[in-house]
Structures are given as C-alpha cells and as structure tokens.
Structure 1
C-alpha cells in the first residue's frame, strides 16, 4: 500500500513539473502530459519501487533551441553538497545553463550555499516534492497568468506611458511566480473574470 501511495504521489509531481515546463514554453510531448498512473508505474517502477533519478529529463525551448532545461529528481531525504555538485558537473559538461531540482524533504545549508554561488552563471531552481503535488495554476481561485515577452512588455509600457517601476509588483518567491520561473524585470499579465466587463486585466512586475 505504501508503494502504491508513493507511486501515486510521484506521478502527481511528474505531471505537474511537465505541465510547468510546458507553460514556460519548453517542448513536452502530449504523451508525457497525459501519462496515466498505470503507464507511469510500468515505465518507472523497478524491483517494486520508483528510482527518482530515472525521472530526470531534458527539455528544449520551442522558440530558442539553445535554451535547454534539465529537470533533476533526487532520492535523498536531505540533499547535501555531493548531489548538488553532481548536478552542477552534469550541467557544465552538457553546457546547460538552467536546471530544476526536485527534492524529497530538505536541503542542507551548505547545499543551498553552493546553489547560490553558482547562480551567476548556472540557474538551478529548487522545488520540494510537496510543492508540486498540485498544479497551482489550475486552482479555481488562481486567475490566468501570462508572462509577457520583452517586446510585449515594451509595448505595454509605451501604450500607457509608464515606467516599469510604476507597475504593481509580484515577488519572485510568490508560488505562481516560481511556477513560471519569473525573473526580476519580467511582467506577468493577470486575467480575472469580471461580472461587468467579462474580464479584468492587470499587470505585475517581478521585482
């Protein structure tokens, strides 16, 4: 029973992270997005358990082939320096500048320090499995979010004669901002239903 619960839990995380990178513009196949629990079990279960490292995958951005993202899963309950260094080495060896690490429970302070030290060149985002059990953007209380391209941001500011600092703000630590991988300076369009106008649109600057 525990194995069934663990498989179901990891399958939910697997689905959310694939939806997440797809929303960011990376190429994810329909088969991966629609993978059933039974198919997940068949594909990733070995000797009665799921090896999290076998879930690791690489995706390429749909409009920028040089933009690749490596998504890592780790088996350790508490991730220390050694696994982080292995991830860094793989990113360097494959010349991949962006990565996501999905871990079970915690990271040691020293592992976090290594991630911060490499952040000038290599971007490694950190998500605990529990954060990805549900796709936050599908929650009924979360409005539609669309990340603007640099050109769309420029057009928006010119249209309303605004400086970007005049826009309302969203923190990079906001759960939706983390889902979309928002960086400082990016603008997100938020669309809410409106009883009078049909929809109500606002914009927020990641700051």
Structure 2
C-alpha cells in the first residue's frame, strides 16, 4: 500500500505534468487534473506508477501525440526504454516523457539517443515536477515560437538566430516547455515603466 506522503507526492507530480502538457498545447481535460481525494478514488490506496500513464494529443494537430510514463522500477535500463518505444510505435506516438525516480543507466541514455531521430523521449526526475515552476511569481511568461514566427522575427530585425541571447536546453523552464535546440522562445516580463518588456532566447 502506498504511504500517504508518497501518494500525495505522486498526485502533485501527475497534476503538474498535466499542467505542463496543457502549457505545451496538448489537450487536457479539467476532469483529468485530480485533487488528492479524487486521485485516491481513481487509483486506490495501492497502485503502481505504471498506472499513472498519460496520453495526450496537440489541440492544433490531433495526430501529434505524446505519452507520459511513470516507470515503477527505480533503476531504468535499456529493457524499459525498448518497452516504451514499442508502446509508442503501436500507438503512433513519436514523443514521450519519462518521470523517473533516479538517473537512467548510461546504456538507457544511449538507447534514447539512438532512436532520437524517430522518437523524442524527455526525462524528468520526480523532484523536478513536485512544483510547477511555470507558476512561480519570479518566472515570466514564456511562449515558444513556431518556425514561421521565428522566421518573421529574424527577418524583422535582420538577425541570425545565433545573434539572439541564449537559453540552455537543460534550463528548467526550457525543459518545462519542451524547448528543442534551435527553437526560439519569447519571454514577456512585467515592467514598471513599459508595462511589458519582451525579449527572445535561442535554445542551445
């Protein structure tokens, strides 16, 4: 039976993942975002993490699907990665998020890299998702530009993308929004003088 603290943490993590998917443009029903009592009613007092899996599609492109897996095993190796890739193949999903309890084995990381051209798999530690950093008062609004929006921005200011200020691929807010290398994010900050102050960052 899962302890109260463990179940409460997993409820919070799953809720934050759903909010993250919504912020990325995936369809998330309000009824899917569960409070602790609802979480207990749906998954019971005794559950394994695999039962918490999520599947969602983009609001603007229903064919663009993503899976979120919560591996039950603490140590994740190549066998686990292959299992999840096979599930993605069977469901025609090309993106996935793994919410893990500890770092992957080096072989598992290599396995993800080997299939990265066809399947994009992100890895989050549980601790990274206990709090929704996008809701923090010190974190400004971030909007990921489409390729067309990025092109128009660079043309407007006669810039090369590498001339923009940079944001690291591993930056927590970049991870939250699923930023990929080469993408540009628009950052909107509140300003006492200008009302809103807009900057852009190029993901490296």
CA distance in 2, matches of 1:164, 1:12: 37
- Structure 1 residue 122: Cα displacement: 0.7
DSSP-derived class of the 2:3 partner: helix
Q: Which residue of 2 aligns with 1:20?
A: 20
CA distance in 1, matches of 2:103, 2:186: 32
Q: Which residue of 2 aligns with 1:171?
A: 168
1:36 maps onto 2:35 in alignment = yes
* Match runs of 1:91-102 below 5 Å: 91-102=88-99
CA distance in 1, matches of 2:81, 2:146: 31
Query: Are the equivalent residues in 1 in contact too, given 2:2–2:47 (CA < 8 A)?
Result: no
* Match runs of 1:1-207 below 5 Å: 3-33=3-33, 35-45=34-44, 48-207=45-204
Query: Are the equivalent residues in 1 in contact too, given 2:2–2:46 (CA < 8 A)?
Result: no
DSSP-derived class of the 2:143 partner: strand
State the 4+ residue runs in structure 1 displaced beyond 6 angstroms.
none
CA distance in 1, matches of 2:85, 2:135: 32
CA distance in 1, matches of 2:57, 2:135: 24
Gaps of 5+ in 1: none
Higher strand share: 1
Deviations 1:74-104 (A, max 9, x none): 1111112221111011112222111111111
Gaps of 5+ in 2: none
- Structure 1 residue 2: Cα displacement: 6.9
Q: Using structure 2 for the length normalisation, give the TM-score.
A: 0.95
Aligned residues: 204
DSSP-derived class of the 1:50 partner: coil
RMSD of equivalent CA atoms: 1.4
- Structure 1 residue 49: Cα displacement: 2.2
- Structure 1 residue 71: Cα displacement: 0.8
DSSP-derived class of the 2:118 partner: coil
CA distance in 2, matches of 1:89, 1:69: 14
